[in-house]
Amino acid sequence: MAYQRPKGTNDILPGNSEKWQFLEETARLLFQDYRFQEIRTPLFEHYEVVARSVGDTSDIVSKEMYDFYDKGQRHITLRPEGTAPIVRAYVENKLFGPEFPNPYKLYYIESMFRYERPQAGRLRQFHQIGVEVFGSENPATDVETIAMALDYFKQLGVEHLQLVINSLGDKESRLAYREALIAYLERYEAELSGDSKRRLHENPLRVLDSKDPKDQAIVANAPSILDYLNETSAKHFQAVQEFLTALAIPYEIDSNMVRGLDYYNHTIFEIVSNAPGFNGVQTTVCGGGRYDGLVEELGGKPTPAFGFAMGMERLLITLEAEGIELPTVLPLDCYVVGLGETTNLECLKVVQAIRNAGFSCDRDYLNRKAKGQFKTAAKEGARLVLTIGETELTNGVANVKNMATGKEVTYPLTEIYQNFPEIFEDLTELD
């Protein structure tokens, strides 16, 4: 039988993987400008780390985690999101000491796993780019991190975006709002979906995040959490709005937005795409917010924190909907054409010499005719083509052609071995 990949996973093949590399490299360069450092956490994590962080009533824990008991009877889960493992690493490795910068800024580019119904942009193994900032309760941190996310989309050429923000307040504000929300929802309990009935008294804010149409109609008229913010929470959210305005970043407020994870408080946000290719349907491409209590929840000292994540699969779909093409062919500096079996060894030596000089280089291995080899060179985008035939081999020379200008020069092989950088510069300075 012919085996197939597991349901909800993808093979990222050459010709497509270059797009992923471009997204990753763009993120790394930008995040480094903002002084973020990369962190890589284990593929699997203790179940309790994720359950305590994300919340027992969240869909991730209650429905979607790939959890199991290992041979030591430890309860393990494949990593379903990035924040909880990073907070665990932050606490375990004491990244808050005086030798570390404060705030401490991290980014990650990693695979995540959730048992979901596969659909476009939502797979069982998916990939996220995300960031976390520890140690600053300054609302400027919220805005700077949001601005960085928007900068990333700008560098990719994405234009049709909308920033949506809300505040979940601090613990005191949420308790006051929780009581008011329960009182409102209890009037409609019989009409709520099964999941929302279960969450009504366990975690009523999760009802606001329901995708059930009947639930959505009910929560449309629910009390606004913004009416229950205490002075501290209201002041923080007002500052976020003022700072966004000062940076000329347009935004909208959605008081029913809660995000899907229980650890959020104060500022939360989503970046939504209205790309033409989505035909009027809004798609969330990035989301995050503040989670000031999570470090303490996982055994650390009280530490304010802020972060976001974006799914790479959904990002690629968004770029396609925007009509943005990412590079799929990496530029090739030189292609070596060998004509005749006797040139095989010399071609091998020349290719390796060019690579050792710091240039990308490829060659023919199938002893094809010149036309086929030049066709491959053009397909690979080679800037120079170096040809060695049996006559050139006898004379100790090679013909070098600039594929853009058509200029051709014959060089001794000894010069190619010794001075290829100068040859490359001379032949490509005008293309």
Give the per-residue pLDDT at 430.
65
At residue 361, does pLDDT exceed 90?
A: yes
Contact (Cβ atoms closer than 8 angstroms) between residue 113 and residue 139: no
- Scan for tokens 């960085």, then name that residue: 148
Q: What are the tokens at 62?
A: 């209650």
Q: Domain with 103 in it: what CATH number? A: 3.30.930.10
DSSP letter at 225 equals G
The answer on 343 and 300 residing in a single domain is: no
Q: Using a cut of 0.85, tell me whether the model's pTM lies above it.
A: yes
- Domain end, chosen from 322, 349, 377, is at 322
Considering the domain architecture, whether residues 310 and 344 belong to the same structural domain is answered as no
- Is 363 in the same domain as 301? no
pLDDT at 261 > cutoff 80? no
> Based on the structure, what is the number of domains in the chain?
2
Does residue 145 sit in the same domain as residue 266? yes
Where helices occur in 213-337 by DSSP H, the ranges are 213-219, 231-246, 294-297, 312-322
Cβ-contact 264, 289 below 8 angstroms: yes
Tell me the per-residue pLDDT of 402-429, one tens digit each, with 9 for 90 and over.
Answer: 999 999 999 999 999 999 999 999 999 8
* 342 within 8 A of 393, measured Cβ to Cβ: yes
CB 125 within 8 A of CB 156: no
The token duo for 129 is: 């780019």
CA angle 209/61/126 to nearest 5° reads 85
Distance in angstroms (rounded) separating the CA atoms of residues 26 and 153: 10
Q: What residues have CB less than 8 Å from 80, skipping those under 6 apart? A: 50, 54, 60, 64, 65, 66, 112, 113, 114
Handedness of CA 198, 202, 208, 211 (dihedral sign): negative
Give 173-190 pLDDT, tens digit per residue: 988 998 999 999 999 988
Residue-wise pLDDT tens digits, 17-59: 999 999 999 999 999 999 999 999 999 999 999 988 887 667 7
Please choose, from the candidates 157, 151, 259, the residue with its C-alpha nearest in 3D space to the C-alpha of residue 205: 259
pLDDT digit string (tens) for 206-231? 888 888 889 989 988 899 999 999 99
